[in-house]
Structure 1
């Protein structure tokens, strides 16, 4: 069975880059009728927060990316310890004691010599007595996995054939000196024991994948099918790292972005297929093909989300937004008319408040100096409210007869005087909702 996973660290809110990973893995699992696991990477007790675990679940639920089960890495530490013991017994795990300063000096020396800055495996030459002395002086060391220094190859689902020389990669640290198990080991153990068949993640993990393939094979497992999607940049190709706070799923939701606007864009962005707006996440399955995505960095502009959100709202029935309309102050008996009038003229749902304020309290009129006498004359012809569907046509006809104005010269000044806007819904629909018209001329 196809099994995928999304493995966020609960150290903050998930952002659009995380979403891309989650969505691709969700789509692969759902398209194959398989299993999608939400795996919380909470092996760092100092940085992991339960509030972020809850926030991750809430954000995914809001998007409609529902998981089949939740796993917590903090509850599987015994499994990682067993894997570490197995690697030690195979001679593939060794303790190293260099300080960060010493490692930095080694890297600089290698670079000056024109060599790749990889760990020199000096710890392998330590005697038991030397290790005991270093532990007494420095405390416990880190534990490194001993790579077989040969080429590591796999057919990447997006990047194509990948071949990495393990001799150009440092033996990865899998357990820190304080005993914390790092992602590289925990992920390997989990993927193997949970039967994960496909892993899609960012291209910044390519080197991690190479080392993890060797660790999986050392532990007797079969590597999953890997695919590495491109990283997102800003619209000008700039790094998103400084803007991820405002591009968190939570922030985008607070800015009024519709979940299907976000999913529809992210499901096709960077692929050879056009972005199409869909009604529900399951609709994205049709046509989704991981191989259609490209390797170059993918430009993401959050402003593209708002026209899509506007289109979502245009097709949204009143029943789906009734509570929000009521919260804006719209009486239930006017809600249907109100929503019909405004939904084609808003970008986000938050804008309904401003529209209802305009209808209920009147708008600041926009009157050009040359139109002031005309508006004063027109307002004298406006019948007393409440106004009906026929009011606009009857009023403008009376004003035309009295002033001789017609066409744009008639309708535009009146629209701006009543609504304060040059554009908007059909005025015959607006007038029945207007309770106050402030224009005096």
Structure 2
């Protein structure tokens, strides 16, 4: 049986690192099983869903390397949900309720005051046809609840009904359906909540595995009951732990700093982001993976912690730095070209500066130092002024080559007696305008004799 998995984000905001974790678990599992990955937008919330968010989610996933085999939008599949709702209504499993949010809140508070769980008591099931008509005449419109199969003959006397499933990540999991309220599937305005469309789509698309956050564990019990009520096969579910900030706060679409759009704009490499999103909270070292195929090989559901994991931006910086320091020129050619670095000099330039770049965009500053006009600081004292004059006089003739720096510094040392920091620091200040940076030797051929002379004369 071909594995079919899906990622079903709501296009109501930007994708953050926690969302990506779920998307990657599904994508990597599908890839490893030679299966199919579906991107399905849960856009039935007409007020909050935006097409621009959906487009951004697709761009974010493509940046990581996730390219769906199929894309669907729930807003275009309403007829399927209508048919399923009618089937459940005909079977007496979807019933109308007329309580307002305030009334429901008061009921929950009364139950809590009595030390009882806040489970809906199915009062609406007791309404006669005439009573429902009276409520609707008052202007009330019903929301619709699914009748959970947690009783034998009398729905007002629920009894413990264990629904067990073998969770792909957590192992054997048991949920008592009697501990849950009948879920609302349709709002009073006629729009669908997440639950029913998700079940209908999973069944119609033949989804075999659903991997999602462990905040959905109880939803799984509800959805399994709906699958069975519709006569559909129940997928295999897996629930992974959630990510929090370093401070322990849950991630949300308001977590702007951890939004993929922000991380991309800040110059992070997609495999640094993907590696940390998957490997955090999993046993073994958190290390940068070369590509998604290598990351899929590392994926081990049995090694995922059952408690929340903290997403540390410092770890992301470390992974990104390790990736950048090993990146070949071919991987950055186009980005360097956009910075004005020619292909003729690009490879040598990248090899010279990459160890001083935590992110590829930082190479732009070095490109300006190497190929552009810079402001060289004035000598700090007369000794440094004399040092620059000697360095200029001793600069070997002709364009610098691989051996120029060694010969040049040897001559300066012999004449001035400067060595170590006293030799290299004033030379670096004169050549780059900075007191730190890449090794000077490989930079000289890129800077060229003309710019070297101009900089040594400055000040």
When structure 1 is superposed on structure 2, of 261-270 and 349-358 the one drifting more is 261-270
Once the two structures are superposed, what CA deviation does each residue of 1:134-171 show, in whole Å capped at 9, x if it has no partner? 11213321000011222222222222322222222111
Aligned to 1:106: 107
Q: Distance in 1 between matches of 2:384 and 2:224?
A: 77
User: What is the CA distance between 1:362 and its match in structure 2?
Assistant: 3.0
Q: Distance in 2 between matches of 1:291 and 1:36?
A: 22
User: What is the CA distance between 1:246 and its match in structure 2?
Assistant: 2.0
Contact 2:376 2:429 survives alignment (8 Å) = no
When structure 1 is superposed on structure 2, of 149-158 and 358-367 the one drifting more is 358-367
Alpha-carbon distance change, 324 to 145 in structure 1, aligned in 2, over 3 angstroms: same
Contact 1:366 1:421 survives alignment (8 Å) = no
Alpha-carbon distance change, 232 to 289 in structure 1, aligned in 2, over 3 angstroms: same
User: What is the CA distance between 1:320 and its match in structure 2?
Assistant: 3.1
User: What is the CA distance between 1:243 and its match in structure 2?
Assistant: 5.4
Q: Does 1:361 align with 2:380?
A: no
Aligned to 2:153: none
Relative to the length of structure 2, the TM-score reads 0.90
Aligned to 2:311: 300
User: What is the CA distance between 1:300 and its match in structure 2?
Assistant: 0.5
User: What is the CA distance between 1:394 and its match in structure 2?
Assistant: 2.7
Q: Which runs of 5+ in 1 are unaligned?
A: none
When structure 1 is superposed on structure 2, of 241-250 and 116-125 the one drifting more is 241-250
Aligned to 2:137: 136
Contact 2:5 2:207 survives alignment (8 Å) = yes
Q: Does 1:284 align with 2:300?
A: no
Aligned to 2:260: 249
Contact 1:159 1:294 survives alignment (8 Å) = no
User: What is the CA distance between 1:173 and its match in structure 2?
Assistant: 0.4
User: What is the CA distance between 1:176 and its match in structure 2?
Assistant: 0.4
Contact 1:229 1:293 survives alignment (8 Å) = yes
Q: Does 1:415 align with 2:431?
A: no
User: What is the CA distance between 1:13 and its match in structure 2?
Assistant: 1.8
Query: Which of 222, 246, 256 is residue 235 of structure 1 equivalent to?
Result: 246
Aligned to 1:89: 90
When structure 1 is superposed on structure 2, of 345-354 and 42-51 the one drifting more is 42-51
User: What is the CA distance between 1:109 and its match in structure 2?
Assistant: 0.6
Contact 1:11 1:48 survives alignment (8 Å) = yes
Aligned to 1:401: 414
User: What is the CA distance between 1:242 and its match in structure 2?
Assistant: 7.7
Relative to the length of structure 1, the TM-score reads 0.93
Q: Distance in 1 between matches of 2:373 and 2:240?
A: 51
When structure 1 is superposed on structure 2, of 416-425 and 79-88 the one drifting more is 416-425
Once the two structures are superposed, what CA deviation does each residue of 1:166-223 show, in whole Å capped at 9, x if it has no partner? 2221111000011101110000111112111111111111121111111111111222
Contact 1:400 1:406 survives alignment (8 Å) = yes
Equivalent position SS for 2:298: coil
Equivalent position SS for 1:267: helix
CA RMSD of aligned residues (A): 2.2
Aligned residue runs from structure 1 range 18-33, under 5 A: 18-33=19-34
Equivalent position SS for 1:361: coil
Contact 1:44 1:180 survives alignment (8 Å) = yes
Aligned residue runs from structure 1 range 110-259, under 5 A: 110-149=111-150, 150-241=161-252, 244-259=255-270
Aligned to 1:77: 78
Q: Distance in 1 between matches of 2:185 and 2:381?
A: 75
Contact 2:148 2:225 survives alignment (8 Å) = yes
When structure 1 is superposed on structure 2, of 315-324 and 50-59 the one drifting more is 315-324
Contact 2:16 2:252 survives alignment (8 Å) = no
User: What is the CA distance between 1:280 and its match in structure 2?
Assistant: 2.0
Query: Which of 410, 417, 431 is residue 444 of structure 2 equivalent to?
Result: 431
Q: Distance in 1 between matches of 2:287 and 2:12?
A: 33
Alpha-carbon distance change, 395 to 135 in structure 1, aligned in 2, over 3 angstroms: same
How many pairs align? Answer: 441
Aligned to 2:393: 381
Alpha-carbon distance change, 307 to 36 in structure 1, aligned in 2, over 3 angstroms: same
Once the two structures are superposed, what CA deviation does each residue of 1:225-246 show, in whole Å capped at 9, x if it has no partner? 1111111111232333485222
User: What is the CA distance between 1:285 and its match in structure 2?
Assistant: 2.0
Q: Distance in 2 between matches of 1:122 and 1:238?
A: 37
Aligned to 1:59: 60
